[in-house]
Structure 1
Amino acid sequence: MRDRPQSDTRERIITAADRLFREIGYQKTTVADIARTLGMSPANVYRFFSSKKAINEAVTARCTAEIRMRLEAVAASGRPAAERMRALLLTAHQSVLELGVTDAKMQEMIAVAMAESWGVIRAHIEEVDAIITRVLRDGVASGEFVPSDPEVTGPCIRAAMMRFCHPGLLTQCHDIPRPTVEQQADFILSALGHHARS
Protein backbone atom coordinates (compact mmCIF):
# COMPACT_ATOMS: atom_id res chain seq x y z
CA MET A 1 0.00 0.00 0.00
CA ARG A 2 2.95 2.34 0.65
CA ASP A 3 3.81 2.28 -3.06
CA ARG A 4 0.31 3.38 -4.12
CA PRO A 5 0.62 7.08 -3.14
CA GLN A 6 3.99 7.25 -4.92
CA SER A 7 2.48 5.67 -8.03
CA ASP A 8 -0.43 8.12 -7.88
CA THR A 9 1.97 11.07 -7.59
CA ARG A 10 3.98 9.86 -10.58
CA GLU A 11 0.77 9.62 -12.62
CA ARG A 12 -0.28 13.12 -11.55
CA ILE A 13 3.10 14.48 -12.64
CA ILE A 14 2.84 12.71 -16.01
CA THR A 15 -0.69 14.00 -16.54
CA ALA A 16 0.27 17.58 -15.65
CA ALA A 17 3.34 17.45 -17.88
CA ASP A 18 1.33 16.04 -20.79
CA ARG A 19 -1.15 18.91 -20.50
CA LEU A 20 1.55 21.58 -20.28
CA PHE A 21 3.56 20.10 -23.16
CA ARG A 22 0.40 20.31 -25.28
CA GLU A 23 -0.58 23.79 -24.12
CA ILE A 24 2.71 25.71 -24.08
CA GLY A 25 5.16 23.29 -25.68
CA TYR A 26 7.89 20.99 -24.41
CA GLN A 27 10.74 23.51 -24.65
CA LYS A 28 8.84 26.25 -22.81
CA THR A 29 7.62 23.96 -20.03
CA THR A 30 9.90 23.78 -17.01
CA VAL A 31 9.89 21.35 -14.10
CA ALA A 32 8.91 24.35 -11.96
CA ASP A 33 5.83 24.85 -14.16
CA ILE A 34 4.83 21.22 -13.67
CA ALA A 35 5.39 21.47 -9.93
CA ARG A 36 3.41 24.71 -9.66
CA THR A 37 0.46 23.17 -11.51
CA LEU A 38 0.39 20.38 -8.93
CA GLY A 39 0.95 22.63 -5.92
CA MET A 40 4.27 21.02 -5.05
CA SER A 41 7.92 22.00 -5.11
CA PRO A 42 10.27 21.20 -8.00
CA ALA A 43 12.32 19.17 -5.52
CA ASN A 44 9.31 16.92 -4.98
CA VAL A 45 8.97 16.37 -8.74
CA TYR A 46 12.66 15.40 -8.86
CA ARG A 47 11.97 12.75 -6.23
CA PHE A 48 10.00 10.89 -8.90
CA PHE A 49 11.79 11.91 -12.10
CA SER A 50 15.48 12.63 -12.48
CA SER A 51 14.97 15.20 -15.27
CA LYS A 52 12.49 16.79 -17.66
CA LYS A 53 13.70 14.27 -20.23
CA ALA A 54 12.60 11.45 -17.93
CA ILE A 55 9.18 13.08 -17.61
CA ASN A 56 8.91 13.33 -21.39
CA GLU A 57 9.84 9.65 -21.69
CA ALA A 58 7.03 8.78 -19.30
CA VAL A 59 4.53 10.95 -21.21
CA THR A 60 5.60 9.37 -24.50
CA ALA A 61 5.42 5.87 -23.02
CA ARG A 62 1.89 6.54 -21.83
CA CYS A 63 0.79 7.88 -25.23
CA THR A 64 2.28 4.97 -27.14
CA ALA A 65 0.81 2.46 -24.66
CA GLU A 66 -2.66 3.89 -25.33
CA ILE A 67 -2.18 3.29 -29.05
CA ARG A 68 -1.02 -0.28 -28.51
CA MET A 69 -3.95 -1.00 -26.20
CA ARG A 70 -6.33 -0.11 -29.01
CA LEU A 71 -4.36 -2.18 -31.51
CA GLU A 72 -4.32 -5.17 -29.17
CA ALA A 73 -8.11 -4.98 -28.83
CA VAL A 74 -8.49 -5.10 -32.62
CA ALA A 75 -5.98 -7.93 -33.00
CA ALA A 76 -7.78 -10.01 -30.37
CA SER A 77 -11.30 -9.37 -31.70
CA GLY A 78 -11.73 -12.84 -33.23
CA ARG A 79 -12.78 -11.58 -36.66
CA PRO A 80 -11.21 -12.98 -39.84
CA ALA A 81 -7.56 -11.98 -40.14
CA ALA A 82 -8.09 -9.78 -43.21
CA GLU A 83 -10.79 -7.79 -41.39
CA ARG A 84 -8.56 -7.45 -38.34
CA MET A 85 -5.59 -6.38 -40.44
CA ARG A 86 -7.58 -3.66 -42.18
CA ALA A 87 -9.08 -2.48 -38.89
CA LEU A 88 -5.61 -2.57 -37.30
CA LEU A 89 -4.16 -0.26 -39.95
CA LEU A 90 -7.07 2.18 -39.80
CA THR A 91 -7.03 2.15 -35.98
CA ALA A 92 -3.30 2.89 -35.91
CA HIS A 93 -3.89 5.95 -38.08
CA GLN A 94 -6.92 7.13 -36.13
CA SER A 95 -5.20 6.63 -32.78
CA VAL A 96 -2.25 8.79 -33.81
CA LEU A 97 -4.60 11.51 -35.06
CA GLU A 98 -6.57 11.48 -31.80
CA LEU A 99 -3.35 12.01 -29.86
CA GLY A 100 -3.16 15.38 -31.60
CA VAL A 101 0.16 14.68 -33.25
CA THR A 102 -0.52 17.16 -36.04
CA ASP A 103 -0.50 19.92 -33.42
CA ALA A 104 2.84 21.78 -33.50
CA LYS A 105 3.36 21.56 -29.72
CA MET A 106 2.66 17.84 -29.64
CA GLN A 107 5.02 17.37 -32.59
CA GLU A 108 7.72 19.19 -30.63
CA MET A 109 7.35 16.75 -27.72
CA ILE A 110 7.47 13.73 -30.04
CA ALA A 111 10.48 15.10 -31.94
CA VAL A 112 12.34 15.49 -28.65
CA ALA A 113 11.36 11.96 -27.64
CA MET A 114 12.62 10.60 -30.97
CA ALA A 115 15.88 12.50 -30.65
CA GLU A 116 16.60 12.01 -26.95
CA SER A 117 14.58 8.96 -25.90
CA TRP A 118 14.70 6.71 -28.94
CA GLY A 119 14.46 3.62 -26.71
CA VAL A 120 10.82 4.41 -25.86
CA ILE A 121 9.93 4.92 -29.52
CA ARG A 122 11.84 1.83 -30.65
CA ALA A 123 10.12 -0.34 -28.05
CA HIS A 124 6.77 0.94 -29.28
CA ILE A 125 7.64 0.15 -32.92
CA GLU A 126 8.76 -3.37 -31.98
CA GLU A 127 5.53 -4.03 -30.10
CA VAL A 128 3.42 -2.71 -32.98
CA ASP A 129 5.34 -4.98 -35.33
CA ALA A 130 4.59 -7.91 -33.03
CA ILE A 131 0.85 -7.14 -33.09
CA ILE A 132 0.77 -6.84 -36.88
CA THR A 133 2.85 -10.01 -37.27
CA ARG A 134 0.49 -11.98 -35.05
CA VAL A 135 -2.50 -11.08 -37.23
CA LEU A 136 -0.44 -11.80 -40.34
CA ARG A 137 0.38 -15.30 -39.06
CA ASP A 138 -3.32 -15.92 -38.40
CA GLY A 139 -4.13 -14.86 -41.97
CA VAL A 140 -1.49 -17.14 -43.48
CA ALA A 141 -2.69 -20.05 -41.33
CA SER A 142 -6.32 -19.50 -42.38
CA GLY A 143 -5.41 -19.14 -46.07
CA GLU A 144 -6.53 -15.50 -46.22
CA PHE A 145 -2.99 -14.32 -46.96
CA VAL A 146 -0.34 -15.87 -49.18
CA PRO A 147 2.54 -17.51 -47.30
CA SER A 148 5.40 -15.17 -46.39
CA ASP A 149 8.02 -14.73 -43.71
CA PRO A 150 6.02 -12.94 -41.00
CA GLU A 151 9.16 -11.54 -39.33
CA VAL A 152 9.93 -9.66 -42.56
CA THR A 153 6.42 -8.96 -43.84
CA GLY A 154 5.06 -7.64 -40.51
CA PRO A 155 7.53 -4.74 -40.28
CA CYS A 156 7.07 -4.10 -44.02
CA ILE A 157 3.34 -3.58 -43.41
CA ARG A 158 4.10 -1.10 -40.63
CA ALA A 159 6.60 0.70 -42.86
CA ALA A 160 4.01 0.89 -45.66
CA MET A 161 1.70 2.76 -43.25
CA MET A 162 4.37 5.24 -42.13
CA ARG A 163 2.87 8.15 -44.08
CA PHE A 164 -0.33 7.71 -42.04
CA CYS A 165 1.18 6.98 -38.62
CA HIS A 166 4.39 9.01 -38.35
CA PRO A 167 3.66 12.41 -36.75
CA GLY A 168 6.00 14.37 -39.04
CA LEU A 169 4.83 12.67 -42.23
CA LEU A 170 1.18 13.10 -41.28
CA THR A 171 1.71 16.84 -41.20
CA GLN A 172 3.97 17.06 -44.25
CA CYS A 173 1.61 14.96 -46.38
CA HIS A 174 -1.59 16.52 -45.08
CA ASP A 175 -2.41 18.23 -48.39
CA ILE A 176 -1.55 15.23 -50.58
CA PRO A 177 -4.96 13.74 -51.39
CA ARG A 178 -3.97 10.22 -52.39
CA PRO A 179 -3.71 7.57 -51.39
CA THR A 180 -6.26 7.78 -48.62
CA VAL A 181 -5.62 5.65 -45.56
CA GLU A 182 -8.39 3.31 -46.71
CA GLN A 183 -6.79 2.94 -50.13
CA GLN A 184 -3.42 2.22 -48.53
CA ALA A 185 -4.95 -0.43 -46.27
CA ASP A 186 -6.65 -2.08 -49.25
CA PHE A 187 -3.38 -1.98 -51.19
CA ILE A 188 -1.59 -3.75 -48.35
CA LEU A 189 -4.30 -6.42 -48.15
CA SER A 190 -4.00 -6.93 -51.89
CA ALA A 191 -0.23 -7.29 -51.56
CA LEU A 192 -0.84 -9.96 -48.93
CA GLY A 193 -2.92 -11.88 -51.47
CA HIS A 194 -6.29 -11.25 -49.88
CA HIS A 195 -8.09 -9.83 -52.92
CA ALA A 196 -6.67 -12.54 -55.17
CA ARG A 197 -8.32 -15.14 -52.98
CA SER A 198 -11.68 -13.42 -52.45
Structure 2
Amino acid sequence: MSHPERDTRQSIVDTAERFFRDIGYQKTTVADIAKSLRMSPANVYRFFDSKKSINEAVLARFKGELEEVLSAIEAEPRSAGSRLRDMLLAVHRINQARFTDQHRMQEMVCAAMEESWDAILGHIERLDSILRGVVVQGIANGEFRDIDPVAATRCIRTAMIRFHHPLLMAQCEKMPGPSAEQMIAFIMCGLERPPAE
Protein backbone atom coordinates (compact mmCIF):
# COMPACT_ATOMS: atom_id res chain seq x y z
CA MET A 1 0.00 0.00 0.00
CA SER A 2 1.43 3.34 -1.04
CA HIS A 3 1.70 6.26 1.39
CA PRO A 4 2.62 9.26 -0.80
CA GLU A 5 3.18 11.70 2.06
CA ARG A 6 5.38 9.28 4.00
CA ASP A 7 7.24 8.35 0.81
CA THR A 8 7.91 12.02 0.03
CA ARG A 9 9.18 12.68 3.56
CA GLN A 10 11.46 9.64 3.22
CA SER A 11 12.78 10.92 -0.13
CA ILE A 12 13.56 14.30 1.40
CA VAL A 13 15.45 12.67 4.27
CA ASP A 14 17.33 10.33 1.89
CA THR A 15 18.34 13.25 -0.33
CA ALA A 16 19.36 15.43 2.61
CA GLU A 17 21.53 12.64 4.02
CA ARG A 18 23.23 12.20 0.64
CA PHE A 19 23.99 15.93 0.49
CA PHE A 20 25.22 15.91 4.10
CA ARG A 21 27.67 13.12 3.23
CA ASP A 22 28.79 14.78 -0.03
CA ILE A 23 29.09 18.47 0.85
CA GLY A 24 28.28 18.69 4.57
CA TYR A 25 25.08 19.62 6.34
CA GLN A 26 26.05 23.27 6.83
CA LYS A 27 26.53 23.82 3.08
CA THR A 28 23.34 21.94 2.18
CA THR A 29 20.34 24.17 1.58
CA VAL A 30 16.66 23.35 1.30
CA ALA A 31 16.91 24.64 -2.28
CA ASP A 32 19.58 21.97 -3.01
CA ILE A 33 17.32 19.23 -1.66
CA ALA A 34 14.28 20.56 -3.53
CA LYS A 35 16.16 20.89 -6.84
CA SER A 36 17.49 17.33 -6.57
CA LEU A 37 13.93 16.06 -6.02
CA ARG A 38 12.48 18.32 -8.75
CA MET A 39 10.35 20.07 -6.16
CA SER A 40 10.06 23.66 -5.08
CA PRO A 41 11.51 24.68 -1.69
CA ALA A 42 7.95 25.62 -0.67
CA ASN A 43 6.90 22.02 -1.32
CA VAL A 44 9.72 20.71 0.88
CA TYR A 45 8.49 23.03 3.65
CA ARG A 46 5.07 21.34 3.43
CA PHE A 47 6.74 18.25 4.90
CA PHE A 48 9.39 19.82 7.15
CA ASP A 49 8.87 23.23 8.73
CA SER A 50 12.58 24.10 8.71
CA LYS A 51 15.99 22.88 7.63
CA LYS A 52 16.65 22.06 11.28
CA SER A 53 13.73 19.60 11.28
CA ILE A 54 15.24 17.90 8.19
CA ASN A 55 18.60 17.72 9.97
CA GLU A 56 16.91 16.17 13.01
CA ALA A 57 15.14 13.58 10.84
CA VAL A 58 18.47 12.53 9.30
CA LEU A 59 20.08 12.36 12.73
CA ALA A 60 17.15 10.44 14.24
CA ARG A 61 17.47 7.78 11.53
CA PHE A 62 21.24 7.67 11.96
CA LYS A 63 20.92 7.15 15.72
CA GLY A 64 17.87 4.89 15.40
CA GLU A 65 19.97 2.26 13.63
CA LEU A 66 22.33 2.17 16.62
CA GLU A 67 19.45 1.95 19.09
CA GLU A 68 18.08 -1.09 17.21
CA VAL A 69 21.41 -2.89 17.59
CA LEU A 70 21.48 -2.15 21.34
CA SER A 71 17.85 -3.20 21.84
CA ALA A 72 18.60 -6.52 20.14
CA ILE A 73 21.54 -7.15 22.50
CA GLU A 74 19.43 -6.12 25.50
CA ALA A 75 16.81 -8.77 24.60
CA GLU A 76 19.30 -11.66 24.42
CA PRO A 77 18.86 -14.37 27.08
CA ARG A 78 22.24 -14.12 28.80
CA SER A 79 23.90 -12.42 31.75
CA ALA A 80 23.46 -8.68 32.26
CA GLY A 81 27.23 -8.22 32.47
CA SER A 82 27.97 -9.84 29.12
CA ARG A 83 25.17 -7.88 27.44
CA LEU A 84 26.32 -4.57 28.93
CA ARG A 85 29.91 -5.21 27.77
CA ASP A 86 28.73 -6.02 24.26
CA MET A 87 26.44 -2.97 24.14
CA LEU A 88 29.20 -0.55 25.12
CA LEU A 89 31.60 -2.14 22.66
CA ALA A 90 28.94 -2.07 19.91
CA VAL A 91 28.40 1.69 20.33
CA HIS A 92 32.15 2.24 20.07
CA ARG A 93 32.63 0.01 17.03
CA ILE A 94 29.61 1.36 15.14
CA ASN A 95 30.55 4.99 15.77
CA GLN A 96 34.20 4.30 14.94
CA ALA A 97 33.19 2.70 11.63
CA ARG A 98 30.78 5.52 10.81
CA PHE A 99 32.97 8.47 11.65
CA THR A 100 36.40 7.31 10.52
CA ASP A 101 35.55 7.84 6.84
CA GLN A 102 32.51 10.11 7.13
CA HIS A 103 33.85 13.39 8.44
CA ARG A 104 30.88 15.36 7.17
CA MET A 105 28.41 13.17 9.09
CA GLN A 106 30.70 13.51 12.12
CA GLU A 107 30.41 17.27 11.69
CA MET A 108 26.61 17.04 11.72
CA VAL A 109 26.49 14.89 14.87
CA CYS A 110 28.94 17.18 16.68
CA ALA A 111 26.86 20.23 15.78
CA ALA A 112 23.74 18.43 16.98
CA MET A 113 25.38 17.80 20.33
CA GLU A 114 26.51 21.40 20.62
CA GLU A 115 23.08 22.74 19.68
CA SER A 116 21.25 20.13 21.82
CA TRP A 117 18.91 19.23 19.00
CA ASP A 118 15.82 17.35 20.17
CA ALA A 119 16.97 14.31 18.18
CA ILE A 120 20.26 14.01 20.07
CA LEU A 121 18.62 14.59 23.45
CA GLY A 122 16.04 11.93 22.60
CA HIS A 123 18.81 9.55 21.56
CA ILE A 124 20.67 10.06 24.85
CA GLU A 125 17.46 9.36 26.79
CA ARG A 126 16.80 6.18 24.80
CA LEU A 127 20.43 5.06 25.12
CA ASP A 128 20.28 5.59 28.88
CA SER A 129 16.98 3.70 29.07
CA ILE A 130 18.41 0.68 27.24
CA LEU A 131 21.58 0.63 29.36
CA ARG A 132 19.58 1.20 32.56
CA GLY A 133 17.34 -1.77 31.75
CA VAL A 134 20.38 -4.07 31.75
CA VAL A 135 21.81 -2.46 34.91
CA VAL A 136 18.47 -2.99 36.70
CA GLN A 137 18.45 -6.65 35.63
CA GLY A 138 22.03 -7.09 36.84
CA ILE A 139 21.14 -5.62 40.25
CA ALA A 140 18.00 -7.78 40.50
CA ASN A 141 19.83 -11.03 39.72
CA GLY A 142 22.76 -10.27 42.03
CA GLU A 143 25.41 -9.75 39.32
CA PHE A 144 25.78 -6.06 40.14
CA ARG A 145 26.08 -4.25 43.44
CA ASP A 146 22.96 -2.64 44.91
CA ILE A 147 23.43 0.81 43.38
CA ASP A 148 21.21 3.56 41.99
CA PRO A 149 20.63 2.45 38.37
CA VAL A 150 19.98 5.99 37.12
CA ALA A 151 23.25 7.34 38.53
CA ALA A 152 25.12 4.20 37.41
CA THR A 153 23.85 4.56 33.84
CA ARG A 154 24.89 8.21 33.67
CA CYS A 155 28.34 7.32 35.03
CA ILE A 156 28.71 4.57 32.42
CA ARG A 157 27.78 6.94 29.60
CA THR A 158 30.18 9.60 30.91
CA ALA A 159 33.02 7.10 31.31
CA MET A 160 32.56 5.94 27.70
CA ILE A 161 32.22 9.39 26.12
CA ARG A 162 35.78 9.34 24.74
CA PHE A 163 34.83 6.19 22.83
CA HIS A 164 31.35 7.27 21.72
CA HIS A 165 31.46 11.00 20.94
CA PRO A 166 32.61 11.49 17.32
CA LEU A 167 34.75 14.57 17.99
CA LEU A 168 36.44 13.09 21.07
CA MET A 169 37.06 9.82 19.24
CA ALA A 170 39.05 11.75 16.62
CA GLN A 171 40.83 14.06 19.08
CA CYS A 172 41.82 11.30 21.53
CA GLU A 173 42.87 8.74 18.94
CA LYS A 174 46.61 9.44 19.37
CA MET A 175 46.50 10.44 23.05
CA PRO A 176 47.65 8.01 25.73
CA GLY A 177 44.75 6.34 27.43
CA PRO A 178 42.89 3.09 27.90
CA SER A 179 41.40 1.16 25.01
CA ALA A 180 37.62 0.84 24.85
CA GLU A 181 37.95 -2.73 26.10
CA GLN A 182 40.06 -1.60 29.08
CA MET A 183 37.56 1.13 29.97
CA ILE A 184 34.66 -1.32 29.77
CA ALA A 185 36.54 -3.76 32.05
CA PHE A 186 37.09 -0.89 34.53
CA ILE A 187 33.37 0.00 34.44
CA MET A 188 32.40 -3.62 35.00
CA CYS A 189 34.68 -3.80 38.06
CA GLY A 190 32.75 -0.89 39.52
CA LEU A 191 29.41 -2.56 38.89
CA GLU A 192 30.00 -6.21 39.68
CA ARG A 193 29.24 -7.61 43.10
CA PRO A 194 32.46 -8.93 44.65
CA PRO A 195 32.48 -12.68 45.24
CA ALA A 196 31.50 -13.71 48.77
CA GLU A 197 34.52 -14.46 50.89
What TM-score comes out, normalization by structure 2 length? 0.91
Q: Cα distance 1:150–1:117, how it changes in 2: closer, same or farther (>3 A)?
A: closer
Farther off after superposition, 109-118 or 126-135: 109-118
Report the equivalent of 2:106: 107
* TM alignment of 1:34-113, pairs within 5 A: 34-100=33-99, 103-113=102-112
- Residue by residue over 1:38-70, the C-alpha shift from the partner in whole angstroms, topping out at 9 and shown as x without a partner, is 232222211111121111011111111111111
Report the equivalent of 1:127: 126
Gaps of 5+ in 2: none
- Residue by residue over 1:128-166, the C-alpha shift from the partner in whole angstroms, topping out at 9 and shown as x without a partner, is 111111101111112111111111111111111111011
How far apart are the structure 2 equivalents of 1:190 and 1:102?
Answer: 33
- Residue by residue over 1:50-104, the C-alpha shift from the partner in whole angstroms, topping out at 9 and shown as x without a partner, is 1211110111111111111111111111111110010010011122223336733
For 1:179, what is the secondary structure of its paired residue? coil
How far apart are the structure 1 equivalents of 2:101 and 2:149?
Answer: 31
Farther off after superposition, 109-118 or 161-170: 109-118
Contact map agreement 2:99 2:166 (CA 8 A) in 1: no
- Residue by residue over 1:108-130, the C-alpha shift from the partner in whole angstroms, topping out at 9 and shown as x without a partner, is 21233234453221111111111
Report the equivalent of 2:145: 146
Contact map agreement 1:57 1:117 (CA 8 A) in 2: no
Contact map agreement 1:71 1:131 (CA 8 A) in 2: yes
The one-letter code matched in structure 2 to 1:87 is D
- State the 4+ residue runs in structure 1 displaced beyond 4 angstroms: none
Farther off after superposition, 174-183 or 68-77: 174-183
- Equivalent pairs counted in the alignment come to 196
Report the equivalent of 1:160: 159
**2:190 is the alignment partner of 1:191:** yes
Contact map agreement 2:56 2:118 (CA 8 A) in 1: no
What percent identity do the matched residue pairs reach? 49
How far apart are the structure 2 equivalents of 1:173 and 1:35?
Answer: 38
How far apart are the structure 1 equivalents of 2:195 and 2:7?
Answer: 51
How far apart are the structure 2 equivalents of 1:9 and 1:142?
Answer: 47
Q: Give the RMSD, CA atoms, in angstroms.
A: 1.9
Contact map agreement 2:56 2:117 (CA 8 A) in 1: no
The one-letter code matched in structure 1 to 2:44 is V
Gaps of 5+ in 1: none
Q: Cα distance 1:53–1:174, how it changes in 2: closer, same or farther (>3 A)?
A: same
Contact map agreement 1:63 1:99 (CA 8 A) in 2: no
Contact map agreement 1:20 1:29 (CA 8 A) in 2: yes
What TM-score comes out, normalization by structure 1 length? 0.91
For 1:114, what is the secondary structure of its paired residue? helix
